[in-house]
């Protein structure tokens, strides 16, 4: 079988406009895929230089394959099974500042460079006060960016047209604003000239973003079949679901220079991404979190099984459409379509998503993802939503750590697990529920004081325990 290299495929040369920090599955299956689509459709004309930050050397496989790889789109879309492969040719090179810091800084001298995209994990955008010298390779990602940005500022003598647009993909709120704040703090720590700070604020744009796509990664179980289909040996093939969403909050200039939406991609340029974040957290994440404990107690072990099971499938659909959506303040048509997409994603036959892995830290997840829907429904309708109440009851029973004589492999803060274990030693389910709901540190408030909630949750818990 042929090895994947530029000698085997036709490549169009393009200017490097994007510096991408990170080379993980998500960026390759999400951002790189979209850039390839936009280049192919003629709405963008720019390649990517990858900067690898979570290793000591540049990925040997990327070098061996000339930065070529396939994204395998596998799943359901509009009820149809999708199984397609797209060759990614838009990455010009890969480097690692750990190997050559000066060469890394020189990347900032590229006059065509316009965008910095990153995904350095949720903890990547952090200020590290021990990064005190920009003349030596800093440890933190923001410090590395600050050093490159200052080098660019100096190289172009503060030219306002050489500012950059930052589009971080880290899964934290205010990701663009947080990155900008870190860079500003390094400018202060390093005593950089004030003219650099002025240029940072006047010539650079930091977008907040929301990203959404499941990218399981290398399909090791089916790679032989896939390689026969694509005709190449590809050690970097990455699988992704058909669904994708990229919400970018920023000025109109970003949309003008980065018009990925014109390539038929679901990229939205907005002034405020808060409603989209709320929609994702409440419907997608909330749909998962509200379903998992109940489904697990009923003997279900994967998301796909849950969707296909009559009892749990109906429970999930009714929770989303009858209780979560009515609690949200967005156009109903948009919410319904998003919910339909979510359920189709849950049913993806190519993804094996274990419920127990989703159940990690379920107490904090419930507080953020589900509890707001439960409380807002009560505020709007005047009654407690019965299925979300059942979900809360199932969560408390799930955290008992044992059901029908079988242990549940819970993973959470040991103190939380110990507190739940103690609570379930009380003499009645009512006492247990009341004590757990009254623990404000779990829920952000004392839920036991809310009119009738404890009684309803205890009733549902007893039904579940009696099954």
> Tokens 């490159």 label which residue?
148
- For residues 246 and 265, the answer to whether their CB atoms sit within 8 Å is yes
**Residue 122 clears pLDDT 80, i.e. is over it:** no
pTM of the model: 0.92
Beta 69-77 vs 80-88: how paired, if at all?
Answer: antiparallel
Structural domains of the chain, with CATH: 2-270 (3.40.50.720), 274-465 (1.10.1040.10)
Other CB atoms within a 10 A radius of the CB of residue 233 amount to 13
**Residue 163 clears pLDDT 90, i.e. is over it:** yes
Treating both helix axes as pointing N-terminal to C-terminal, what angle do 386-398 and 286-297 enclose, rounded to 10 degrees? 60
pLDDT value of position 113 = 98
pLDDT value of position 1 = 81
Helix ranges (DSSP H) in 70-125: 101-106
**Residue 435 clears pLDDT 80, i.e. is over it:** yes
From residue 337, how far is each of 248, 321, 329 by CA, in Å? 20, 11, 15
Tens-place pLDDT, residues 267-326: 999 999 999 999 999 999 999 999 999 999 999 999 999 999 999 999 999 999 999 999
Residue 53 pLDDT level (bands cut at 50, 70, 90): confident
């Amino acid at each position: 079988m042929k090895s994947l290299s530029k000698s085997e495929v036709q490549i169009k040369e393009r200017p490097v406009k994007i510096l991408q920090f990170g080379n993980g599955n998500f960026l390759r299956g999400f951002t790189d895929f979209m850039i390839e689509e936009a280049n192919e459709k003629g709405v963008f004309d720019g390649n990517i230089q990858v900067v690898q930050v979570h290793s000591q050397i540049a990925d040997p496989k990327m070098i061996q394959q000339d930065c070529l790889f396939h994204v395998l789109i596998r799943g359901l879309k509009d009820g149809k099974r999708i199984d397609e492969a797209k060759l990614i040719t838009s990455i010009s090179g890969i480097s690692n500042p750990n190997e050559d810091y000066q060469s890394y800084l020189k990347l900032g001298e590229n006059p065509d460079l316009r965008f910095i995209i990153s995904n350095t994990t949720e903890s990547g955008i952090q200020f590290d006060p021990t990064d005190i010298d920009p003349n030596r390779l800093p440890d933190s990602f923001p410090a590395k960016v600050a050093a490159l940005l200052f080098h660019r500022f100096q190289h172009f003598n503060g030219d306002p047209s050489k500012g950059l647009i930052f589009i971080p993909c880290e899964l934290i709120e205010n990701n663009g604003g947080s990155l900008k704040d870190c860079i500003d703090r390094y400018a202060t720590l390093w005593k950089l000239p004030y003219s650099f700070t002025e240029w940072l604020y006047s010539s650079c744009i930091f977008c907040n973003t929301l990203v959404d796509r499941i990218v399981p990664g290398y399909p090791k179980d089916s790679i032989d079949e896939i390689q026969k289909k694509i005709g190449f040996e590809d050690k970097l093939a990455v699988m992704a679901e058909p669904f994708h969403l990229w919400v970018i909050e920023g000025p109109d200039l970003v949309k003008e220079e980065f018009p990925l939406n014109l390539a038929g991609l679901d990229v939205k340029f907005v002034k405020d991404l808060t409603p989209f974040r709320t929609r994702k957290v409440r419907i997608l994440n909330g749909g998962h979190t509200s379903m998992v404990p109940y489904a697990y107690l009923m003997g279900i072990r994967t998301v796909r099984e849950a969707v296909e099971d009559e009892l749990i499938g109906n429970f999930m659909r009714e929770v989303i459409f009858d209780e979560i959506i009515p609690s949200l303040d967005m156009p109903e048509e948009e919410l319904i379509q998003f919910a339909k997409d979510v359920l189709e994603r849950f049913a993806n036959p190519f993804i094996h998503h274990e419920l127990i892995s989703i159940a990690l830290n379920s107490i904090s997840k419930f507080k953020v993802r589900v509890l707001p829907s439960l409380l807002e429904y009560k505020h709007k309708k005047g009654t407690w939503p019965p299925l979300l109440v059942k979900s809360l009851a199932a969560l408390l029973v799930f955290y008992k750590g044992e059901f029908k004589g079988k242990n549940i492999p819970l993973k959470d803060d040991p103190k939380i697990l110990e507190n739940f274990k103690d609570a379930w030693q009380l003499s009645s389910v009512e006492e247990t529920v009341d004590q757990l709901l009254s623990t404000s540190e779990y829920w952000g408030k004392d839920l036991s004081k809310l009119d009738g909630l404890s009684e309803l949750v205890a009733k549902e818990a007893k039904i579940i325990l009696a099954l």
